[in-house]
Amino acid sequence: DAGVIQSPRHEVTEMGQEVTLRCKPISGHDYLFWYRQTMMRGLELLIYFNNNVPIDDSGMPEDRFSAKMPNASFSTLKIQPSEPRDSAVYFCASSLARLAGGRGFFGPGTRLTVL
């Protein structure tokens, strides 16, 4: 298995532009998580899905952020409009709920820089 796949790996954009981050979870995993990591705040959970349904989006910072999971093999995190304070590494992770402990497998992350 290729593991969790994220694209792009790096994104540099200007303030005000729309940014779309993509994630392909491990096949068969029924949970998908989006995290954001910054030096100041560490690793924060933004939103997670179970069987493609958003379960908890309380970590989404504001309305500029949205996430979708149209099918079991694809999810997007969109920021519109982007701001410099959104600069961070965004990780996607997936897990199989039946596994005890819900061990999460992380993708390589997308490093976003908003100028």
Partner 1 sequence: EDKVVQSPLSLVVHEGDTVTLNCSYEVTNFRSLLWYKQEKKAPTFLFMLTSSGIEKKSGRLSSILDKKELFSILNITATQTGDSAVYLCAAYNTDKLIFGTGTRLQVFP
First CA to last CA across the chain, in angstroms? 36
**108 lines the binding site for partner 1 (CB under 8 A):** yes
**25 lines the binding site for partner 1 (CB under 8 A):** no
- Per-residue contact track with partner 1, 53 to 72, x per CB under 8 A? --xx----------------
54 vs 81, which CB is nearer to partner 1? 54
Distance set, CA 76 to CA 38, 68, 80, 85, 101 (Å)? 20, 5, 13, 20, 25
* Nearest residue to 86 via CA among 47, 55, 112, 53: 112
Interface segment toward partner 1; rule CB under 8 A; list 12-20, 34-42, 67-75, 76-84: 34-42
